Amino acid sequence: MTTDPTTQTLAQLGDTTPEKVTARFAEVRVRFDRQAGEHSAKKDAEEWKGFVVAWTGRKSGVLTNVGDNWLKPAAKELKPIVGQEFQKLKAHVEATLEEKRKEIEAAAEEAAAARDQVDLSLPGVERAIGTRHLIRQTFDELLRIFLSIGFSVVEGPEIETPYYNFEALNIPEHHPARDNMDTFYIEGSHAGHLLRTHTSPMQIRTMEKQAPPVRIVVPGKVYRRDNPDSTHGYMFHQIEGLAVDTDITFCDFKGTVQYFVREFLGPKAKTRLRPSYFPFTEPSAEVDATCHVCGGTGCRVCKFSGWIELFGAGMVNPAVYGFVKYDAEKLSGFAFGMGVDRLAMMKYGITELPLLFQNDVRFLRQFP
Ligand code: PHE
């Protein structure tokens, strides 16, 4: 660039004839055309700007230099030809730059359009929204049935006192019924707090708070120190039921249970009550239903008995009313407690309880 002839006057360059002037302009034009060609190939925005400034910049662009150094101080007789050549060069440079600018802009637009293009034929992004867990689904189904006949839902604490979990349910301290409910006690609790072994404490809590009539179901988690195997864990789910009023009979109990079984297992299911024992019900019963697999004729699932055990229940033991200051002379009622996990496994033919808690989507997907 130091030898750029446009920084010198024509006199300094020794261009004293019109021919030499024309040749000198031709030289500049060739230089411009070569550089313009290089730049349009690169299309780098910064480089392009630099190129434009180098040629048309007001301060020391080539055109300005030609005007200042060649035209202005030109000898009188050369001035017309210098002026003419200058105008030609100027017009050529400006036209070329304008043309290239349009080209570059169009190319940039095209590239941007290609980048932004949305292909509407491509499949969209699908986000799985998941499903309700089978336990939740079973809860919903069970609660729906009881809500449909006038029960309402209440929930209670998972950490209980021995009073609510045992005493008030007519299970005194050394009662053998405490043994088959191996209990987790909370370490360091002076009150002997424990993880509830069943949802039955909510019978007491509800009756303490509420005058009869009572018609509640209680969904929730319960905990027992069982050895884990294919049907046992340290936690499972129950739904407790309690109905107390002035005129509830064993027939109401049986009718409610029957209605429930038909709703849950289908209209063909039959119900059977088998004598059982719970300290807080008297009489107590195990509720069985005809096997949902064979319909009662006997198969492997029901161990060829035709019956499947569903849950424990009974008429509320009048001794319980004493703990909640209900009038045992006037009131009667029934209660039940069902294992939700057990019912889900039975209904859906699941033989391994742990599957319900491992949350393997290959398992969960089977219950959309
Ligand atoms: N609480 C009992 C259990 O967990 C079930 C039950 C509830 C039985 C209510 C009768 C009445 O085994």
Ligand 1 atom at minimum distance from 199 CA: 1
For ligand 1, the distance from its centroid to the CA atom of residue 167, given in whole angstroms, is 14
pLDDT digits (tens, 9 = 90+) for 286-310: 999 999 888 889 998 888 999 999 9
Ligand 1 atom at minimum distance from 313 CA: 10
Whole-number pLDDT of residue 271: 96
Is pLDDT at 3 greater than 80 in this prediction?
A: no
Mean pLDDT of the chain: 91
Q: Give the CA distances from residue 87 to residues 63, 71, 93, in Å, rounded to whole numbers and listed in that order.
A: 10, 10, 10
Angle, in degrees to the nearest 10, between helices 18-42 and 79-116: 10
Cα 346 to chain centroid, rounded: 29
Whole-number pLDDT of residue 119: 83
Instruction: Tell me the average pLDDT across 77-95.
Output: 91
In eight-state DSSP terms, residue 290 is: E
Peptide bond before residue 201 is cis, with ω within 30 degrees of 0? no
Is pLDDT at 167 greater than 90 in this prediction?
A: yes
b/e per residue, 28-50, with b = 16+ CB within 10 A? Answer: bbeebeeebeebbeeeeeeebee
Burial class of residue 134, CB neighbours in 10 A (0-12, 13-18, 19+)? buried
pLDDT digits (tens, 9 = 90+) for 48-64: 888 899 999 898 889 99
Is pLDDT at 1 greater than 60 in this prediction?
A: no
Whole-number pLDDT of residue 110: 87
Single-letter residue type at 80: P
Structure token pair of residue 314:
């009974």
Residue whose token pair is 């190939």: 41
328 contact partners, CB below 8 Å, separation of at least 6 = 318, 319, 321, 322
Is pLDDT at 91 greater than 60 in this prediction?
A: yes
Instruction: Tell me the average pLDDT across 143-162.
Output: 97
As a whole number of angstroms, the distance between CA 288 and CA 281 comes to 17
Q: Which residue CA neighbors atom 4 of ligand 1 most closely?
A: 198
Whole-number pLDDT of residue 137: 96
Q: Which residue CA neighbors atom 10 of ligand 1 most closely?
A: 313
For ligand 1, the distance from its centroid to the CA atom of residue 138, given in whole angstroms, is 19
Is pLDDT at 104 greater than 60 in this prediction?
A: yes
3 contact partners, CB below 8 Å, separation of at least 6 = none
Q: Is 43 helix (H, G, I), strand (E, B) or coil?
A: coil
pLDDT digits (tens, 9 = 90+) for 331-366: 999 999 999 999 999 899 898 999 999 999 999 999
For ligand 1, the distance from its centroid to the CA atom of residue 243, given in whole angstroms, is 14
Ligand 1 atom at minimum distance from 238 CA: 4
Do the strands 152-153 and 214-223 form a parallel or antiparallel pair, or are they unpaired? Answer: parallel
Q: Report residue 40's pLDDT band, with 50, 70 and 90 as the boundaries.
A: low
pLDDT digits (tens, 9 = 90+) for 240-277: 999 999 999 999 999 999 999 999 999 999 999 999 99
Q: Is 281 in the pocket of ligand 1 (CB under 6 A)?
A: yes
Classify the C-alpha dihedral 200-155-337-351 as positive or negative: negative
Residue whose token pair is 């392009």: 48
For ligand 1, the distance from its centroid to the CA atom of residue 222, given in whole angstroms, is 12
Give the mutation target among 198, 223, 274, 315 for probing the ligand 1 site: most ligand atoms within 8 A of CB: 198
Is pLDDT at 2 greater than 80 in this prediction?
A: no
For ligand 1, the distance from its centroid to the CA atom of residue 241, given in whole angstroms, is 9
Which has the closest alpha carbon to 203: 239, 257, 252? 239
